[in-house]
């Protein structure tokens, strides 16, 4: 079970948000502080489930330390699950459901002891409604992230199909 950590108990967490994280690229210090006030910090053990495929949650996550495996239940192979991608420090996950409200498309499991920032959808939505500049930057960065991931998937599919 995830353990919530006090975001202010370790300055490392606060410094982390000022690092090279694509989600908050171009954010001013005040905007980062706004995100920090709504974020919770959670710790997961190796192989612990963070998100379950088909859940109706919308929170967004940033990996502070550790890594996760994005896995889908297999319906076409003998394997029970297929690992789609592995993400490490400073990566974002949960963006699809965050943006469109759809159910979670995959399971997300910690591949080692992992610390994540959880950004609750409703709180982010309120921030965005009250700060259009922050909203623009966040949506721009999510769009860039999704474009990069789609491009990577296209290359992987071409390699897989020997195109």
pLDDT confidence bin for 49, thresholds 50/70/90: very high
Average model confidence (pLDDT) across the chain: 88
* Full-model pTM: 0.87
Is residue 63 within 8 Å of residue 21, measured between CB atoms?
no
**Cα–Cα distance, 132 to 128 (Å, whole number):** 6
pLDDT confidence bin for 139, thresholds 50/70/90: very high
Domains of the chain from N-terminus onward: 3-160 (2.60.120.10)
**Cα–Cα distance, 148 to 101 (Å, whole number):** 21
Is it the case that residue 44 has pLDDT exceeding 60?
A: yes
Report DSSP state, residue 149: H
Is it the case that residue 19 has pLDDT exceeding 90?
A: no
């Amino acid at each position: 079970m995830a353990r919530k950590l006090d975001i202010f108990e370790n300055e490392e967490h606060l410094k982390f948000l000022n690092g090279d994280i694509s989600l908050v690229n171009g954010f001013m210090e005040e905007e980062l502080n706004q995100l920090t006030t709504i974020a919770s910090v959670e710790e997961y053990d190796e192989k612990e489930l963070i998100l379950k495929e088909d859940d109706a949650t919308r929170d967004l996550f940033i990996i502070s330390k550790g890594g996760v495996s994005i896995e889908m239940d297999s319906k076409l192979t003998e394997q029970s699950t297929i690992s789609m991608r592995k993400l490490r420090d400073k990566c974002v996950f949960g963006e699809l459901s965050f943006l469109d409200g759809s159910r979670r498309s995959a399971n997300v499991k910690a591949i080692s002891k992992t610390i994540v920032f959880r950004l609750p959808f409703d709180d982010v939505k309120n921030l965005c409604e009250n700060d259009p500049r922050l909203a623009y930057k966040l949506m721009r960065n999510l769009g860039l992230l999704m474009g990069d991931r789609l491009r990577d998937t296209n290359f992987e599919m071409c390699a897989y199909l020997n195109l």
